[in-house]
A = this chain, B = another copy of it.
């Protein structure tokens, strides 16, 4: 893929401090970064904003808002939106939350998620921020995200204007779904693709299934076919590589960053 489209999600190389990540992005000609709230808060939101702006980097997304089935979601999400505006990104990624005692089944959780997004969208829009609903793989439906398919995410997003609420297309979460290509087309036509993320599917999955996302090319997903699909759907924005992977995190971060850029170019 074209290096001009590449964005490195901060989590892929979480072992790198933000200034190091930024410096190496500049050195390697990487134009975009996806940031996470926790390390950005640790560094200082305003200082992080200065750092990436001065380096000429585009902040492609801020991860993450959501968890709408838990207490305190509204203050947390407003803070995420404020931070996104400070950082100069236009997109907050939403991981919507799983089942909780208040929302013990999938239909009630999904209804709650729709309602919460409706409450947030105008606040975000006033600050120039789009909310991007990320469907997570069905293996996370109980404990992280009751939105499991792109169709479900789109159905929620379609309650709201496309420039306010859209979806994240992440190959790791959607690759298995034979209905996803049609949903990508529908999302693209409506201008609701707000982020496109790549990760590969490698097995066996680790305990807890959180930190086993494969380096591009190491797994089962036909990433080239997904890139073509998004292109046909009209997506010309950044392509973010977000890997949660204990083995990658145990290695030198600069080496992993360089290897990820290379793997991206080879897709």
Contact = CB atoms under 8 A, between A and B. Distances in A.
Interface stretch (A40-48, A49-57, A139-147): A139-147
B201 A205 contact: no
Contacts of A105: 222, 225
A213 to B, nearest CB: 13
A149 B149 CA distance: 12
Contacts of A175: 106, 141
A178 interface: yes
Interface in A8-65: none
A137 to B, nearest CB: 7
Task: Kindly report how many copies of this chain are found in the complex they form together.
Answer: 2
A179 to B, nearest CB: 8
B142 A220 contact: yes
A222 B99 CA distance: 12
Chain A interface mostly: loop
A203 interface: yes
B203 A206 contact: no
A72 interface: no
Interface in A88-143: 99, 105-106, 110, 137-139, 141-143
Interface in A166-185: 175-178
Contact of A209 (B99, B139, B152, B220): B139
Given A99-B220, A105-B222, A222-B105, A138 B205 contact: no
Contact of A207 (B139, B152, B177, B207): B207
Interface of A: 99, 105-106, 110, 137-139, 141-143, 148-149, 152, 175-178, 201, 203-209, 219-220, 222, 225
